[in-house]
Structure 1
Amino acid sequence: MSCRLSELVLNCNDPARLADFWCAVLGYVVLDRDGEDIEIGPESGFGGLAPTIILAKVADAGQARNPLRLHFDVNPVDRDQEAELERLLTLGARPADVGQTGEEEWHVLADPEGNEFCLLRRRIADL
């Protein structure tokens, strides 16, 4: 028996702002709202191949109860890496420095609240 990743929870200060950002990045839609918390995911909803993301409102996301360092890796599906980088920067992502050498095949970015994620080079199929 095994488990499958079904949802990710991202503690944040402004769930609506991050929902807009991550929906645009991933092609997701808002699936549910519970108070200030927002669940986003593929149009097919929870339980499919792609996990949903719950953007959970916390008073100070930088002081969240779980100090686990987690970041997303994303891959372009319908354009090359440079075109996708330009799109992500237009959406509000910004370059992040985590000690890269400049020789990496990926870009390290931060979402509007500073959560780091990587844009990988390889194009993958859309779901």
Structure 2
Amino acid sequence: MACRISELVIDAADPERLAEFWSKVLGYVELGREDDGSIEIGPPDAGFGGPQPTLILSPSSDPRAGKLRLHIDVNPTDRDQDAELERLLALGARPADVGQTGTESWHVLADPEGNEFCLLSARLRPL
């Protein structure tokens, strides 16, 4: 038997702001809040344990040191990559430079707190 990813936990200076951003990016909804200020977001109909992992935005005042060793990749589901890039930038993402050459088929972006993620070119079927 194997494991599967059920949750991704992201430290956040402002969990509220990141929860709002990632909810809009992924079409997620708020699933719950903890007394420590953590906010869990996930797919509206499945929630925790569904086919997609939930995200937990956990409050942290620790400064980030350097480039993240793990990042999220996203794919458009209902539009092409260029249109999705425009949407993500309008939501508050910004271009990020992690040493790419400029010939990549993906875009490297950063969320409102500077966490890098990539917008890939392949269009995926929505779940």
Q: TM-score range by the shorter chain?
A: over 0.9
C-alpha distance in structure 2 between counterparts of 1:117 and 1:49, whole Å: 20
Structure 2 stretches of 5 or more lacking a match?
Answer: none
Corresponding residue for 1:49?
Answer: 51
Does residue 79 of structure 2 align to residue 76 of structure 1? no
Whichever residue aligns with residue 50 of structure 1, its letter is Q
Quote how far apart the aligned CAs of 1:69 are.
Answer: 1.4
How many residues align? The count is: 124
C-alpha distance in structure 1 between counterparts of 2:107 and 2:58, whole Å: 26
Q: Using a 3 Å threshold, how does the CA distance of structure 1 residues 33 and 72 change in structure 2: closer, same or farther?
A: same
Compute the RMSD of aligned alpha carbons. Answer: 1.3
Quote how far apart the aligned CAs of 1:61 are.
Answer: 4.5
Summarize the alignment of residues 1-127 of structure 1 with structure 2, pairs less than 5 Å apart.
Answer: 1-35=1-35, 36-43=37-44, 44-62=46-64, 69-127=69-127
Whichever residue aligns with residue 40 of structure 1, its letter is I
Quote how far apart the aligned CAs of 1:62 are.
Answer: 1.4
Quote how far apart the aligned CAs of 1:60 are.
Answer: 2.0
Quote how far apart the aligned CAs of 1:116 are.
Answer: 0.0
Quote how far apart the aligned CAs of 1:94 are.
Answer: 0.2
TM-score, normalising length: structure 1: 0.94
> Residue 88 of structure 2 aligns to a residue in which SS?
helix
State the Cα deviation string for residues 28-53 of structure 1 (Å, max 9, x = none): 00000003110000012100100000
Structure 1 stretches of 5 or more lacking a match?
Answer: none
Contact 2:40 2:54 in 1 (8 A): yes
TM-score, normalising length: structure 2: 0.94
> Residue 109 of structure 1 aligns to a residue in which SS?
strand
C-alpha distance in structure 1 between counterparts of 2:93 and 2:28, whole Å: 17
Identity %: 68
Quote how far apart the aligned CAs of 1:70 are.
Answer: 1.1
C-alpha distance in structure 2 between counterparts of 1:75 and 1:68, whole Å: 20
Whichever residue aligns with residue 59 of structure 1, its letter is S
